[in-house]
Amino acid sequence: MATTYSISDLAREFDLTTRAIRFYEDMGLLQPERSGPGGRNRVYSHRDRTRLKLTLRAKRLGLSLTEAKDLIDMYDSPRDTGPQLQKFLVVLAEHRQQLEAQMAELEANLDEVKVHEKEARNLLAKQAVAHVAKPVKAIKTPKVSKARS
């Protein structure tokens, strides 16, 4: 008999909410069987579990759910794996380019932050030196004349 899973089983195993699993189902990533009165209970197969695992792996790589679904659906088809692997390489190359562009932008931002930090430290140091080097002037207080009553 094939192993089946409830939505709670998968949620627990993958540390997800049941709502997230239902969302993946709505996106067409999972296709559980229905059982119980009115088909209320979802029964997930080993295939669904594998698809969920692949979906989460794709998310960790930064792929969109649509990209993940396209790739996972290709592996469900009985065709030759060559075109599937080529498509996977194209998606990964595009994603790598996006990540490299984001990384370059982050590095530029980080360099700018470092410049501002250095400027702020220099200004603070100048203020501290100016404050210490300044002679303190005695403040003359105006004489208060006593009012005669």
Closest CA to 91 of 67, 62, 69, 57: 67
User: DSSP assignment of 41-75, as one string?
Assistant: EEEB-HHHHHHHHHHHHHHHTT--HHHHHHHHHHH
Q: What percent of the chain shows pLDDT beyond 90?
A: 56
Encode pLDDT of 12-28 as tens digits: 999 999 999 999 999 99
For the full predicted model, state whether its pTM sits above 0.85: no
Encode pLDDT of 94-128 as tens digits: 989 999 999 999 999 999 999 999 999 999 998 88
